[in-house]
Structure 1
Amino acid sequence: MTDDTIQKRFGERIRTLRQLRKLSQEELAFRAGIHRTYLGGIERGERNPALRNINALAEALSVSLSELFKLGDKTRF
């Protein structure tokens, strides 16, 4: 799996979890302590977030890190 693919799939996962919780990008970004345009870049697969930001997103979404990384059956770690 290429870096580009994993970034896009991770971004899709963030977007899905955010939408399930009926949060706007702005609200999730605020809760995670990151800028909303940075969150948009993550969701589009354009950004490669640092572990601190990944952890902040998991906390803001009220999910564990392992739940956050459930990207589907194609993912290999």
Structure 2
Amino acid sequence: LRYTSCTRCEDKYVSGDDNFYIIFTSGTTGVPKGVQISHDNLLSFLDWMEKDFGIKEDVNCISQPPYSFDLSVMDLYPTL
């Protein structure tokens, strides 16, 4: 594979219905399944976290479950 540097990056529009990430279920009922989380879903979640938990720029928190566990979403995205 060859790497070529990009001198101009194109802006890409992302729709609220586009997937932001996929997280997999634990598979307790059989085979794990991928759950698609859209941009709008994530933004709604972040709004809820900010309002209910009072997350602000000057708040520090340390708690990191494994990224493969859905609880990690509560630590990762709201703090960005």
Q: TM-score, normalised by structure 1?
A: 0.30
TM-score for both structures, normalised by structure 2? 0.29
Q: If each structure's helix is expressed as a fraction of its own residues, which one has the higher value?
A: 1
Higher RCO (C-alpha under 8 Å, 6+ residues apart):
1
Larger Rg: 2
| Greater share of strand | 2
